[in-house]
Amino acid sequence: MGKSPADLVNPYIGTLPHLLQTTRPEVMLPHCYPKIFPHFDTNSDYYCNEIVKGFPIGSLLVLPGAEGAEMRECFYNTLDHSREDCRPYYNRIELEEHDIVAEYTVTEHSYAYRFTNAARLALLFNENCEVALKSDGRIYAHMAPGGEGGRRARRSLPNEYVVLVSSAPLKEVLRDGGMAVFEFESAGSGQDGAGGGAGVTLAGALSYVSFAKAEEIFDKELAGRAFDSLKDSAFAVWDKFLSRFKIEGNTEDMQTVFYTAVYRSFQRMVNYGEYGQFYSGYDKQVHDGEYFYANDNTWDTFRSMHPLQLLVEPGRQADILNSYIMMYKQTGLMPNVPGVNGDMPVMIGFHSAALFADAAACGLDLDYETAYEGLRKNATEQSILPWACNLGLTDLDRCYLENGYFPALKKGEEETYAEVNKFERRQSVAVTLEHCYDDWCVAQLAKKLGKTSDYEMFMKRADNYKKSYNAQIGFMAPRDIDGAWVDFDPMWGGGQGGRDYFTENNAWTYAWSVFHDFIGYRGLLGGAKAMEKKLDELFTEGVRNENGQTMSKYTYMALFPDATGLMGQFAMGNEPDFHIPYVYNYCGAAWKTQKRIRDCMDIWFTNSPTGICGDEDGGAMSSFLVFSAMGFYPVCPGSGEYMIGSPLFDKIELTLQGGAVFKVIAEGAGCGARYVQSATLNGEPYNKASLKHADVAKGGELVLVMGRRPNREWGTEI
């Protein structure tokens, strides 16, 4: 009998990154805020960290086996991954120096640990925390928002209320500033033993509302339940969820890659609802309600994570977007990157527009009138400067509104606008292109609501991407505030991360940020063959200097550290590139999409700590893999359609909300046959390289006849 989907997940995939952000092997439940992973006292890549500092319960840190105050600074336990059992629902690790076995699992709002051979434990906390051991044996901890420069201030966290209960009575033996040490009075009588010694459980309920709510959570989720019961429940949640994706074929390693990607694609957004109440960091009030979702990174997640969640669980996506509407009502602004404690000034674009446009195109029932009110306000009254939040219009914004492009500095010109972030700079071309797409999304909502004049205005703005195309050089290019082209090198121009003109990438990537109008863009490039040729060059162009001489990659990577997973100038490791292999479908060369997308998946997504080639960003990269492995991808969220690629498996069955099943059958795909020879949809011949969301959502069967040589005639229409 094969492994269950939950036990195929490998949370250590991506914990040894190619260059930038590491992932963490988190024990969690989908969309829930308790996340457990070992904390370390160094800042190296996660897989390489070996010295365990402790384990989290909210912002508290638990140190099993700590002896005294000195342990706060030198608590030392070595982690050996070869003796670790890491799952999405449970982890077991051996802490060598203290001969302790640590196990942990989670519920929706709670943390549960079992420590074997631990006579003591310590809690670490900061100056904004109060910890008390009550007469009933429970520990109550209140973490207030941090002061200026504090750790909690940097993390923008609200109040936390934690109720902790141990299966063995606790006695406080030491209090030293931000550390409290407790001794288990009868550890030998613990009933949750494991690993050759007596085990003691420590379970903690976390609320952002009150201690009373934390007690309610404890009673509902933890009271009277043994550790193994909690572990089994967490397993059941993950196995039921992951089993909605049934796959056959390919290797166990690739099945592990797939299910791990699904696990990571449903981390965000996080539901902060607590059994009828929730705290909002937007108006700093407690509200009645069953859900409140926050903690997103929309610049990344609008591309494929939200569309995947919309496809798989539209009911939850409706709750997520209703949370956006609540945030708008509480603050007067539609959030774009909603953090726990308010909108965050991160990255570029107002891509919350994409989430609502996609929901409308896919038939979700929402209060679009109120959503549109907030999105229109963002699009007409808020600055589009990078890394800005709640900032009114500047002269730079007025240039975009009046002339159709966000202006770059002239060659050699010094920045004079204080509002421009000194490190992030203007990113003028990327800002222009991504807001043109956002304007297209707002236009779709205006059309749905019958706002004809607004629709025409926003569609005109959406068309402004053409004003950034410099036909003389064949790239999207910067203009200064007077409208003149700025002379720059498409490969190297823009300084660190290309940020004078682009975002983390160069002009080769941003040549393709026209999600909403690749047919129109095809005309700018000179037709389908010219577009195809330009795409081919993207995947084959090496690193050269301005004289065309080949250069070493390390020089390039020093300038563009986000552009990992390089294939020519295509960077699999950065989100603005995700959709690009599918653009071949728009120029009648679907077989090249099939070729490129299988290369990307086979090369860059593997069952190893190095198996994610870029910054995961809480599900952004993994959702690309989930969609692509199923054989289709949302190039333009808001259009209600997907582009067909080349699936990884012989058969995929996706169980949708309500019980409908959509199947992709591609015999031989798992053994390397990557090219579509012919197709049928629900038994009828199908020759298009695109697929409507409605045809997937109602259930059905897409059969792709696969081969090892391309059929260049299939999929020439979209």
Q: What is the pLDDT of residues 497-543, one digit of tens each?
A: 999 999 999 999 999 999 999 999 999 999 999 999 999 999 999 99
Cβ atoms 633, 305 nearer than 8 A: no
* CA separation for the pair 265, 279 (Å, rounded): 25
Q: Which residues of 259-292 are buried (b: 16+ CB within 10 A; e: fewer)?
A: bbbbbbbbbbbbbbbbeebbbbbbeeeeeebebb
pLDDT digits (tens, 9 = 90+) for 256-312: 999 999 999 999 999 999 999 999 999 999 999 999 999 999 999 999 999 999 999
State how far Cα 270 lies from the chain centre.
11
Over residues 12-19, the mean pLDDT reads: 92
DSSP β-ladder status, 700-707 and 661-665: parallel
Domains of the chain: residue spans and CATH: 5-243 (2.70.98.10), 253-707 (1.20.1610.10)
- Give the residue among 692, 698, 705 at the shortest CA–CA distance from 646: 705
Query: What percent of the chain lies above the pLDDT cut of 70?
Result: 95
pLDDT digits (tens, 9 = 90+) for 200-224: 999 999 999 999 999 999 999 999 9
Q: Which residues of 514-539 are buried (b: 16+ CB within 10 A; e: fewer)?
A: bbbbbeebbebbeebeebbebbeebb
Cβ atoms 101, 116 nearer than 8 A: yes
Q: What is the dihedral of CA 599, 601, 606, 609, to 10 degrees?
A: 110
Query: Rounded to two decimals, what is the model's pTM?
Result: 0.96
Cβ atoms 370, 327 nearer than 8 A: no
Specify the pLDDT at position 185: 79
559's enclosing H/E stretch is helix 553-559
- Rounded to the nearest 5 percent, the helix, strand and coil shares of the chain are 35, 20, 45
Tell me the two tokens of residue 632. Answer: 């289709």
- Give the residue among 71, 27, 70, 76 at the shortest CA–CA distance from 231: 27
Give the model's confidence band at 198: pLDDT under 50 very low, under 70 low, under 90 confident, else very high: low
Average pLDDT across the chain, whole number: 93
pLDDT of 188 above 70: no
* CA separation for the pair 53, 65 (Å, rounded): 11
469's enclosing H/E stretch is strand 469-470
* CA separation for the pair 346, 357 (Å, rounded): 21
Cβ atoms 261, 623 nearer than 8 A: yes
Specify the pLDDT at position 51: 83
Cβ atoms 667, 699 nearer than 8 A: no
pLDDT digits (tens, 9 = 90+) for 20-41: 888 999 999 999 999 999 988 6
Specify the pLDDT at position 372: 98
Please give the C-alpha separations between residue 318 and each of 32, 131, 252, 293, 350, in angstroms, as whole numbers: 17, 38, 34, 11, 19
Specify the pLDDT at position 73: 61
Q: What is the dihedral of CA 183, 187, 193, 199, to 10 degrees?
A: 0
Specify the pLDDT at position 176: 86
* CA separation for the pair 475, 454 (Å, rounded): 30
Please give the C-alpha separations between residue 409 and each of 429, 488, 503, in angstroms, as whole numbers: 11, 12, 16
Length of the chain: 718
Cβ atoms 536, 567 nearer than 8 A: no
pLDDT digits (tens, 9 = 90+) for 368-416: 999 999 999 999 999 999 999 999 999 999 999 999 999 999 999 999 9
- Give the residue among 238, 163, 175, 153 at the shortest CA–CA distance from 204: 163
Specify the pLDDT at position 2: 78
* Amino acid at the residue 472: Q
Q: What is the dihedral of CA 639, 640, 645, 649, to 10 degrees?
A: 150
3-class secondary structure per residue, 134-159: CCCCCEEEEECCCCCCCHHHHHCCCC
Over residues 556-569, the mean pLDDT reads: 96
Over residues 309-316, the mean pLDDT reads: 98
Specify the higher pLDDT residue, 310 or 70. Answer: 310
Specify the pLDDT at position 69: 60
Specify the pLDDT at position 153: 44
pLDDT of 19 above 50: yes
* CA separation for the pair 545, 559 (Å, rounded): 13
Angle at 696 between CA 691 and CA 697, to 5 degrees: 140
- Collect contacts of 167-175 with beta carbons under 8 A, ≥24 apart: 167/191, 167/192, 167/200, 167/201, 167/202, 168/200, 169/137, 170/133, 170/137, 170/139, 172/133, 173/120, 174/68, 174/69, 174/122
Cβ atoms 268, 618 nearer than 8 A: yes
Cβ atoms 675, 711 nearer than 8 A: yes
Please give the C-alpha separations between residue 347 and each of 253, 336, 372, 414, in angstroms, as whole numbers: 34, 10, 22, 22
Over residues 90-97, the mean pLDDT reads: 91
pLDDT of 348 above 80: yes
Q: With H, G, I as helix, E, B as strand and everything else as coil, classify residue 680.
A: strand
Specify the pLDDT at position 197: 45
425's enclosing H/E stretch is none
* CA separation for the pair 84, 92 (Å, rounded): 6
* CA separation for the pair 242, 35 (Å, rounded): 18
Report residue 306: phi and psi, to 5°: -65, -45
Over residues 612-637, the mean pLDDT reads: 95
* CA separation for the pair 380, 420 (Å, rounded): 19
Query: What percent of the chain lies above the pLDDT cut of 90?
Result: 84
Tell me the two tokens of residue 257. Answer: 């890659």
pLDDT of 186 above 80: no
Cβ atoms 663, 700 nearer than 8 A: yes
* CA separation for the pair 212, 221 (Å, rounded): 14
- Collect contacts of 391-399 with beta carbons under 8 A, ≥24 apart: 391/419, 394/419, 395/481, 396/420, 396/426, 396/481, 399/481
Over residues 584-595, the mean pLDDT reads: 98
pLDDT of 190 above 70: no
Angle formed by the axes of helices 352-361 and 314-331, to 10°? 140
Specify the pLDDT at position 68: 62
State how far Cα 490 lies from the chain centre.
29
pLDDT of 571 above 50: yes
pLDDT of 659 above 60: yes
Cβ atoms 234, 107 nearer than 8 A: yes
